[in-house]
A and B are shown apart, each in its own frame.
Chain A
Amino acid sequence: MIVVHSAAVNNKIIPANATNKTLPLAWQVAAHSQLAEAEEICAWLEINLDNNLHFKKRLLIITNQRFLTVANYPEKIESYPFHAGLALKHHDNAGVANIELFDGEIQLAHWFYTLAHDFSATRFIKQFELHLASFLTGQPITTETSEVCPNCQSPLEADQDECPQCSSTIDAPPSTWTLFRLWRFAKPYKWQLLTGFLLMLASTAATLVPPYLTIPLMDKVLIPYQNGAPIDIGMVALLLSGLLGSALLAWGLGWARTYILALVSERIGADLRTITYEHLLKLSLEYFGGKRTGDLMSRIGSESDRICVFLSLHLLDFATDVLMIIMTSAILISINPKLALVTLLPLPFIAWMIHVVRDKLRTGFEKIDRVWSQVSNVLADTIPGIRVVKAFAQETREATRFREANQHNLVVNDRINKIWSLFSPSVTLLTEIGLLLVWAFGIWQVSRNEISVGVLTAFLAYISRFYTRLDSMSRIVSVTQKAASGAKRIFDILDHVSSVPEPSNPVHLDKVVGQIEIKSAGFRYGNRAVIKDLSLIIQPGEMIGLVGHSGSGKSTLVNLMCRFYDVTTGSINLDGVNIRSLPISEYRRNIGLVLQEPFLFFGSIAENIAYGKPEATRAEIVAAARAAHAHEFILRLPHGYDSVVGERGQGLSGGERQRISIARALLIDPRILILDEATASVDTETEKEIQKALDNLVHGRTTIAIAHRLSTLHKANRLVVLDRGEIVEVGSHDELMACEGAYYRLYQAQARNVDTDLDDVKNDNEITHKAVSA
């Protein structure tokens, strides 16, 4: 669909950007060489596509005399001197925008650019109109002292070039050292962590005592005995009790250490989960629209758990191992530096191997994670949609889809396991070779009387521990990578900035009157413009009926009013204050929303009604239910208000659910009420009931009601007819009937009881379908 914005001339000066001073260096020579004497650049726009839609940069310039284009590559310079009738228009489609230069009805030229440049283009066109007008009239351009954001029309500070609310910069991507970012969650527990660490030091030291005791055991007891000396019972007892004591000490300390650190890591995991979930809830609908439930669930559920296991188990082990290696090396070097050197020789090899494999595995594990969410996505898709699956007898197909996802999982895992399985045996092999080296070198040293047999046995005892630890240490590679990729996926959520941000300088409204002003609002979903330059003022207490055919943007407008999304251009004000500067939850507290598909949470009916106001008294709940005409049917349920309604409110009819959601909206007593097809899919009888309920609700509040059945809007003060994102008619029922426009046709069609929508009626006389035979 083509969107044409013909920007209106307004006499506000547009801030900076479009001036000579800021012309990019690369363009200055090319641009200035084109200028005549006394000609100066008034505004410019860099565009990034040529007319064949290839990525090539070009510059559009407005001078005080003409409009011209400059390119840094050979291409015709186009120049259009100012004269009456010249106009710039722009529209966009599928991510590409088009600026057209018209001379009256004739298109002189057109240029393309991608939407990345759109904001400046709007400004540029305004500048063009200003300068053209000033050229034609000879009047200087009028400047207004207070500058406004060209985008959202909110006032700018003197030194601000860009509106702080509109400027959207790309957030820096999270660093690769994601795991260290977990420190933010560990910080509250730093004292416990320190205790744990000290315990770890002590317990590791304790485990290193026994091999040391083998030296005197060998050299002072066994070897002298072999050489004919008697065994020194006292010394043996001392050494053995030393062995026992150190073992007991290591056991006790190890227990305390593991307990404390496991406790802490469990808490870190829990904090991580809750904080991520809290953050997730604050994100805009746009985020949820682009994500799949299964994926989000697996991120918050299993990945935080994985991180927790990593912290409590693997990281702990690893730290112990590292400590042990350092301590052992120190001991070995202190006993005999030469032999120590040989013993430690394989270490760098192993470290290098770990490094190599690490890189390969990391990407692999990220992949596995993604595949996992694919698997859970299949589940999250089909389980809620199980009725559709069964109705169309597609169980086998869904099973196949699941099997395929699983298969994919297998393939990815197989690939990783190939590398992974090679890794452990290689480490073991290196270990064996290392031992061999120590034996050989040790025997040689013993033969030259450089070391005693005791020292050699101690070394062997140390390093066999040491190397087995290396083997398990190597496992840290995979678990760290797994945890890191899990952490990354969690931080992906945490780093996501809501596209409806909280204001930095919130304004608080003491008492909301309920006047809503939509100022030339524009909105697009991705590259589809859905609302275009829409302006509307809704007075306090007024009831507005929003009508228009399906897809005309009614629900979108409502989403904008609720600030589920932020407008792309223009602004929405509540009582004269831009809703972007109100704290979000404070603002939403003033809005009662009744949707076509009411959602009931798992819980009792009373809890569901009191969802927006948990502190409501029972009397209030009953009053709200009565007003919503829900009281009677609730009483007919087996447990009255305490009846539990399931997920999606199963067990209640559509109309019943609807009335509960109306009661919910009524209970919070909002100043603004938004009804999005609240009565669309119920029978006439129920509709009457709901209508009565709504009439109670509407009374004295600013109301925006969307309805396909025009009869439900009989109470509306004004009806607003939307068509493809634009307001086509506004007025009361009688006025709109009198002018026989879009509303009239719509009404006529419904009166004739034909199930036609606005658009089909309009085209009654046109040939709407033409088949072209091949």
Chain B
Amino acid sequence: MEQSTLITDFSLIRNAAGRLVLTTNDGNVHEGVFPMRAFPISAPAEGLSLIGENGHELAWVASIASLQNATRNLIEEELARREFMPEICSISHVSSFATPSIWQVETDRGDTELVLKAEDHIRRLTHTSLLITDDHGVNFLIRDIDQLDNHSRKLLDRFL
């Protein structure tokens, strides 16, 4: 599993405890680092920071594409689990048009239920995309309202 990259001046591995270990080119070793995107919504492919367990930035990656495959895979794997943001593909049912309301949704990660506590938990990102935060802090993304089917759009419209 051990992989090191040459182009960039750090190497990243996952240890037996499941933590990412970063070794910088000057020999410093940091265990339990995690990647964090600087603009997870507006520019996910740019600007990524590797942060140590103590919350300090250890390395900065300007563009994820510039990383070597192995490192990028590790980072993306870690990101996938840190950035849990199911994308809503359709809304099958809402319990009421007044909040709190329970929504049955289909997402790219399977069907689930979310509780919308208040209308303000729907945040408009751009003209066509929305971020919905449920009762427990899970963020759901609607990438493009216009891509939703009619039924979902109608339901959603009642909350916008």
Contacts and interface: CB of A to CB of B under 8 A. Distances in A.
Contact of A770 (B9, B54, B119): B9
B86 A55 contact: yes
Contact of B57 (A54, A56, A173, A768): A768
Given A94-B139, A96-B81, A492-B98, A772 B54 contact: no
Given A53-B81, A763-B56, A173 B107 contact: no
Interface in A125-172: 170-171
B97 interface: yes
B100 interface: yes
B95 interface: yes
A290 B110 contact: no
Given A2-B32, A762-B54, A772-B62, A115 B111 contact: no
B157 interface: yes
A37 interface: no
Given A53-B84, A492-B99, A769-B60, A527 B109 contact: no
A310 interface: no
B6 interface: no
Given A95-B138, A107-B18, A170-B135, A370 B81 contact: no
B26 interface: yes
Contacts of B83: 94
Residue among A98, A291, A767 facing the most chain B CB atoms (10 A cut-off): A767
A58 to B, nearest CB: 12
Nearest to B81: A53
A93 B14 CA distance: 19
B81 A112 contact: yes
Q: Is chain A's binding surface mostly helix, strand, loop or mixed?
A: mixed
Contacts of A385: none
A1 interface: yes
Interface in B43-72: 51, 53-63, 66
B81 A170 contact: no
Interface string A33-62: 000000000000000110011111000000
Interface residues of B, number: 59
Interface in B1-43: 8-10, 16-18, 24, 26, 28, 32, 34
A370 B26 CA distance: 56
Contacts of A773: 8, 62
A422 interface: no
Contacts of A421: none
A116 B135 contact: yes
B54 A759 contact: yes
B85 to A, nearest CB: 8
Contacts of B17: 102, 105-107
A767 B136 contact: no
A114 B53 CA distance: 22
A90 to B, nearest CB: 13
Contacts of B57: 768-769
Interface string A163-195: 000000011011010100000000000000000
A110 B137 contact: no
Contacts of A767: 24, 26, 28, 58
Given A107-B16, A290-B118, A1 B139 contact: no
A506 B34 CA distance: 46
A724 interface: yes
Contacts of A769: 57, 60
Contacts of B157: 363
Contacts of A488: 98
A100 B139 contact: no
A669 interface: no
Contact of A174 (B98, B102, B118): B98
Contact of B59 (A118, A174, A292, A770): A770
B149 interface: no
A632 interface: no
Contacts of B53: 2
A56 to B, nearest CB: 6
A772 B61 contact: yes
Nearest to B32: A2
Given A2-B34, A290-B118, A772 B138 contact: no
Nearest to A109: B18
A1 B32 CA distance: 10
24 contacts: A2-B32, A53-B109, A54-B109, A55-B86, A55-B112, A94-B139, A95-B137, A95-B138, A106-B16, A170-B100, A173-B96, A173-B99, A290-B118, A488-B98, A492-B118, A524-B137, A724-B55, A763-B56, A767-B26, A770-B59, A770-B60, A772-B9, A772-B62, A774-B66
Given A49-B109, A768-B56, A771-B62, 16 more contacts: A1-B51, A53-B81, A56-B110, A100-B18, A107-B17, A116-B136, A170-B115, A171-B100, A527-B137, A759-B56, A768-B57, A772-B10, A772-B61, A772-B62, A774-B62, A774-B63
Q: 8 closest pairs, A vs B, by CB?
A: A527-B137, A55-B110, A107-B18, A95-B138, A173-B96, A774-B66, A115-B136, A96-B84
Interface of B: 8-10, 16-18, 24, 26, 28, 32, 34, 51, 53-63, 66, 80-86, 95-102, 107, 109-112, 115, 118-121, 133-139, 157-158, 160
